[in-house]
Structure 1
Amino acid sequence: MIRPPGLMAISDLHVRHPDNRRLVEDLYPGSSGDWLLVAGDVGEFVADVAWALRLLSERFATVVWVPGNHELWTPADDPVQLRGEARYRHLVGICRELGVVTPEDPYPVWEGSGGPVTVVPMFLLYDYTFRPAGAPTQEAALERAYDAGVVCADEFLLHPDPYPSREAWCRARVDETAARLAARDRDVPTVLVNHYPLVREPTRVLRHPEFAQWCGTELTADWHIRYGAAAMVYGHLHIPRSTVYDGTRFEEVSVGYPREWRPRAVRPAPRTILPVQRAPETTRGGHRAT
């Protein structure tokens, strides 16, 4: 029996890994009307990102993409050597050729079951404000990460050009996105989509707390409330789960690397965001995940 169309989500496809590439090749909608939200980290090479989004856009009714940190890397062996803002805009241009919705496009409205909701793809980056306990400054947090040997590759591969720093780029993106959200139709709930969680709580379960500083910004801590979110979709942490903060569902939908997903009992697949399938068990202050 074919189910009704759904608003689906997935992230962290990392298609440079052959097993992950095969996962994407086998990824089909369960209904001809399915939308797919892709919350970043499709891959590091521009050609890989284009390949995956082209394939998915041919299968799903609508594909919405936001960049992860890996798409913004400039690997030395990628033929496309664009950096920073120029690299991001180049990927946006590819998406527009494919009909894929990006953070630079008008926000689409999901009218299917569980709707209407305004789907808000966002590109916000991070600003080192998710610091580990006992590290009151960005400099102290980075020093602790280097001492622990837990340093994100962004420090070497994600260039902020033309901004003076990644945190400056983050703050510019936050300001621009907040202005667009303020102008939305406030009578329609939102589904907020970003590579990073909008609140710090999901990072509390990281094995290495030093890594949290590359996982978001305190500037968005109340956005799920302020902007009427029915759900917030993110990836990056490679800890797929459903949680609730302040009454809002947060859905971490990452696939992750083969070594991470192979031991799981269930093969990675897009998660249904709408219509709601079941209530998540975790609430702010708890860590019971579904």
Structure 2
Amino acid sequence: MKLYAISDLHLRHADNRQALQTLPFFPDDWLIVAGDVGETLSEMDFMLRTLTARFRQVIWVPGNHELWTLPSEQPSLKGDARYQRLVSLCRSHGALTPEDPYVRWPGEGPHRVIVPMFLGYDYSFRPDHVPAEKALDWAMEENLLCTDEVLLHPEPYATRTEWCIARVEATRARLESLPAGCTTILINHYPLRHEHVWLPRIPRFSIWCGTKRTEDWHARYRAEVVVTGHLHIPFTQWRDGVRFEEVSLGYPQQWKHRGGIERCLREILPGAPRQSP
């Protein structure tokens, strides 16, 4: 029994949809889908129908693209209302979400808890000399403006930062209540640490890539593996004996040189052995 992960499926691209349908069946294994499935409810439904038929259990966390409110899509749901609609859709297909009880990994090994999270970002992944109120200006000096600024609405919160803070605090409370003897598999769309936001072509895009409020979560909450996406640059890195996996598929031109989509699945468990700090 294995736990796999992938993210950033971006199913508005026909090549990505076709690739998803070529995945073989993994009837004994679980799959993490770490956000950015697509921009529409129909793309989410397509992912869920396709992957829940191929894996024993699917676990989903939202990226920013799922939370976009497109003018063409009805009903026009914004912010938390859209997120809750996505959660309901996942539950209708038997997929787990950040709103469900954390489950114990049923495979071999020690007591591990699977922790899907929705945390958002607060523009804090920026240099220390850039004040929070100047973060957007700093990015726009390099002609960068994330589409989220137009399509990702924070309602009922006043700002995306406030929504992020609320999500972080609610998730922190749940993590604090976990049994002391268990380890965790932490799953989030965005990196938990600023140092992992490596974007050599667009470094100032970092402000839309997470929050410094989670910098120590891998250690504080006894993570064995941290699974993230968003960057479209897959990697395996180690910090404090914890394995960090960026598991993006990405756009067709970004993944086709890696071979078929099956080769883009990242094995999380059993995975590589834990390193010493």
CA distance in 1, matches of 2:253, 2:181: 43
Is the CA contact 2:232–2:248 (under 8 Å) kept in the aligned structure 1? Answer: yes
Give, in whole Å, the separation in 2 of the partners of 1:248 and 1:208: 27
Q: Which residue in the other structure is 1:288 paired with?
A: none
One-letter code aligned to 1:248: V
> What is the TM-score of this pair, normalised by structure 1?
0.90
Q: Work out which of the residue numbers 14, 17, 30 in structure 1 matches 2:13.
A: 17
Contact 1:117–1:188 under 8 Å retained in 2: yes
The one-letter amino acid of 1:89's match is Q
Query: Match of 2:239, as an amino acid?
Result: Y
SS at match of 1:34: strand
1:209 is matched with which residue: 182, 203, 224? 203
SS of residue paired to 2:231: coil
Q: 1:144 is aligned with what amino acid?
A: W
Superposed, 1:185-264 pairs within 5 Å as 185-264=179-258
Other structure's SS at 1:148 match: coil
Q: Using a 3 Å threshold, how does the CA distance of structure 1 residues 87 and 80 change in structure 2: closer, same or farther?
A: same
Aligned residues: 276
3-state SS of 1:186 partner: coil
Q: Give yes or no for contact 1:27–1:269 (8 Å, CA) kept in 2.
A: no
After TM superposition, where is structure 1 displaced by more than 6 Å over at least 4 residues in a row? none
Contact 2:121 2:209 in 1 (8 A): yes
Q: Determine the structure 2 residue equivalent to 1:75.
A: 70
Alignment of 1:32-181 (within 5 A): 32-132=27-127, 134-135=129-130, 137-181=131-175
Task: Provide structure 1 residue ranges, at least 5 long, that are not aligned to the other structure.
Answer: 285-290
Show CA shifts across 1:107-141 (max 9, x none): 11112134431000000000000014642x12322
TM-score between both structures, scaled by the size of structure 2: 0.94
State the identity %: 50
Amino acid of the residue matched to residue 234 of structure 1? T
How much does 1:54 deviate?
2.0
Amino acid at match of 1:164: A
Alpha-carbon separation, structure 2, partners of 1:59 and 1:127: 36
Contact 1:199 / 1:218 at 8 angstroms: preserved in 2?
A: yes
Gaps of at least 5 residues in structure 2 are none
Q: How big is the shift at 1:270?
A: 1.4
Distance in 2 (alpha carbons) for counterparts of 1:115 and 1:85: 35
- Any conservation in 1 of the 2:199–2:231 contact (CA below 8 Å)? no
Question: RMSD across aligned C-alpha pairs, in angstroms?
Answer: 1.8
CA distance in 2, matches of 1:265, 1:94: 31
User: CA offsets, 1:26-53, max 9 Å, x none?
Assistant: 1234x42100011000000011111111
Q: Tell me the residue number matched to 1:6.
A: 2
SS at structure 1 position matched to 2:82: helix
Displacement of 1:147: 2.2
Deviation sequence 1:56-78 (CA, Å, 0-9, x none) = 11221110000000000011122
Aligned partners of 2:19 and 2:259: how far apart in 1?
Answer: 15
Aligned partners of 1:8, 1:262: CA distance in 2, in Å?
Answer: 19
